[in-house]
Structure 1
Amino acid sequence: MDLGDQLKDLFPDHVPEEDSNGEQEKSPYWLQDDPIICKYEKRKGKPVTILEGYNGADSDFKKLTKDLKTLLGVGGSFKNETIIIQGDFRDKIMDFLKDNGFSVKRVGG
Structure 2
Amino acid sequence: MAKETKDFSAISGLPDELGIDDDLSKVGQVLSIRRDTRRYGKPMTIVSGFEMDRAEMKALASELKRRLACGGTVLDDEIELQGNHVERARDILDELGYQVA
Which category describes the TM-score, using the shorter chain as reference length?
0.7 to 0.9
Determine the C-alpha separation between the residues in 2 that align with 1:68 and 1:82.
13
Structure with bigger gyration radius: 1
Any gaps of 5 or more consecutive residues in structure 2?
Answer: 1-17
- TM-score, structure 2 normalization: 0.73
User: Quick one: distance in 1 between partners of 2:77 and 2:98?
Assistant: 16
Find the counterpart in structure 2 of residue 99 from structure 1: 95
Name the CA distance, whole Å, in 1 between partners of 2:19 and 2:68. Answer: 24
SS at match of 2:62: helix
**4+ residue runs of structure 1 moved beyond 2 angstroms?**
24-28
Is 2:22 the counterpart of 1:34? no
TM-score normalised according to structure 1 size: 0.68
Within the candidate set 76, 83, 86, 1:87 is matched to: 83
Which residue number corresponds to residue 62 of structure 2? 66
In the TM superposition, what whole-angstrom CA distance separates every residue of 1:43-89 from its partner, at most 9, and x where no partner exists? 11100000111120111111000000000111000011010000001
Unaligned runs of 5+ in 1: 1-23
Larger fraction in helix: 2
Alignment identity in percent?
26
Q: For the aligned residues, what is the CA RMSD?
A: 2.1
